[in-house]
Amino acid sequence: MKTFAIRSRYGKIRFELLNDKAPATCKAFLKRLPFKTPGVQARFAGEEIWAPKGPLLNVRRENATRRPRFGEVGYVVSEKRSALSGSIALVYGEAYLSASANVFAKVHKADKLKLKRLGKKIWLRGQTVLGFNV
């Protein structure tokens, strides 16, 4: 199974790609690695770390939802007149997104607690830079 990691000042968290559910998104996302983007708390959506400046991927909707589960990673497909295009959602609890996102990855089982802690730290301390790497 292919993986990627997110590094921040709070540590490293590993994620597994869902190639069977979102193959086009996974392929396009891997090609854009590595990159850095700010991560903020999207409290209006629930327990979500929002990376509003993700890479623009040329993909269509696949495995899309507004209700991702704990540990899932979603990518908002580019759409005309949408300020959310290209953003990434990292869900660390319950969330209801304001736009559908392609769920293309999930947190590694051993790193679930790390993701929860990262979300809480960003909520309490503010924005942090997230480095997405292979």
Domain that holds residue 88: 3-133
Percent of the chain's residues with pLDDT above 90: 87
Percent of the chain's residues with pLDDT above 70: 96
Its pTM surpasses 0.75: yes
Quick one: DSSP state of residue 115? H
User: Residue ranges of the alpha helices (H) in 36-111?
Assistant: none
In whole numbers, what is the pLDDT of the chain averaged over residues?
A: 95
State the total domains in the chain: 1
Comparing 99 with 4, the larger pLDDT belongs to 4
Give the model's pLDDT for residue 27. 98
23 SS3 class = helix
Q: Cβ(21)–Cβ(50) under 8 Å?
A: no
Which residues pair with residue 13 across a beta bridge? 6
Distance of CA 99 to the CA centre of its chain: 13
At 60, which CATH number?
2.40.100.20
- In tens, the pLDDT along 71-130 reads 999 999 977 666 678 899 999 999 999 899 999 999 999 999 999 999 999 999 999 999
